[in-house]
Amino acid sequence: MNSIFDSGWQFTTIPALAERAAEIYGDETAIDDHGTRLTFVELDAARRQVAKAVMAAGVKKGDRVMIWAPNTWKWFVASLGVVSAGGVLIPTSTRFKGAEVEELMRRSGATMMFSCGDFLGTYYPDQLSAGARELLHTIVVFDGAHASETAWDAFLARGASVSDAELAERQASVGPDDLCDMLFTSGTTGYPKGVMYGHWQCLMVVDAWATRVGIRRGDRMLIIAPFFHAFGYRSGAIVSLMRGATLMPHQAFDAEEILTRVEREKVSVIPGPPAIFHSMLQHPRMAEFDRSSLRLGVTGGAVVPATLIRRMREDLGFKGVVNGYGLTECGGYGTMCSATDTDEQIANTAGKANPNTEVRIMAEDGRLLPNGERGEVVIRGFLVMKGYFNDPEATAKTIDKDGWLHTGDIGWFDENDDLHIEDRLKDMYITGGFNCYPAEIERLMSAHPAIGQIAVIGVPDERMGEVGKAYVVLRPGKSATEAELIAWARANIANYKVPRSVEFRDALPTSPQGKVQKNRLREEQEAA
Query: Which of 434 and 65 is assigned the larger pLDDT?
Result: 65
Longest dimension (CA), the chain: 74
Q: Where in the chain is the domain with CATH 3.40.50.980?
A: 14-174
At 77, which amino acid appears?
Answer: V
Q: Average model confidence (pLDDT) for the chain?
A: 92
Q: Which fold has domain 429-527?
A: GMP Synthetase; Chain A, domain 3 (3.30.300)
Question: 348-396, pLDDT tens digit by residue?
Answer: 899 999 989 999 999 999 999 999 999 999 999 999 999 999 999 999 9
Report yes or no: 203 and 71 within 8 Å, Cβ to Cβ. no
Q: Which fold has domain 14-174?
A: Rossmann fold (3.40.50)
Q: Where in the chain is the domain with CATH 3.40.50.12780?
A: 197-425
Residue 220 pLDDT greater than 80, yes or no: yes
- Neighbouring C-beta atoms of residue 153, cutoff 10 Å: 8
Q: Which fold has domain 197-425?
A: Rossmann fold (3.40.50)
Query: Which of 181 and 426 is assigned the larger pLDDT?
Result: 181
Residue 438 pLDDT greater than 90, yes or no: no
Question: 22-54, pLDDT tens digit by residue?
Answer: 999 999 999 999 999 999 999 999 999 999 999
Which region among 6-15, 22-31, 472-481, 507-516 has the lowest average model confidence (pLDDT)?
Answer: 507-516
Q: What is the CA radius of gyration of the chain?
A: 23
Residue 210 pLDDT greater than 60, yes or no: yes
pLDDT for 3 equals 67
Q: Where in the chain is the domain with CATH 3.30.300.30?
A: 429-527
Per-residue pLDDT averaged across 503-521, rounded? 86
Per-residue pLDDT averaged across 273-293, rounded? 92
**How far is 506 from 242, CA to CA, in rounded Å?**
39
- Neighbouring C-beta atoms of residue 174, cutoff 10 Å: 23
Looking at residue 131, what DSSP letter applies? H
Question: 4-17, pLDDT tens digit by residue?
Answer: 766 678 899 999 99
Question: 73-103, pLDDT tens digit by residue?
Answer: 999 999 999 999 999 999 998 988 888 899 8
Contacts of 72 (CB under 8 A, 6+ apart): 33, 116, 142, 249, 251
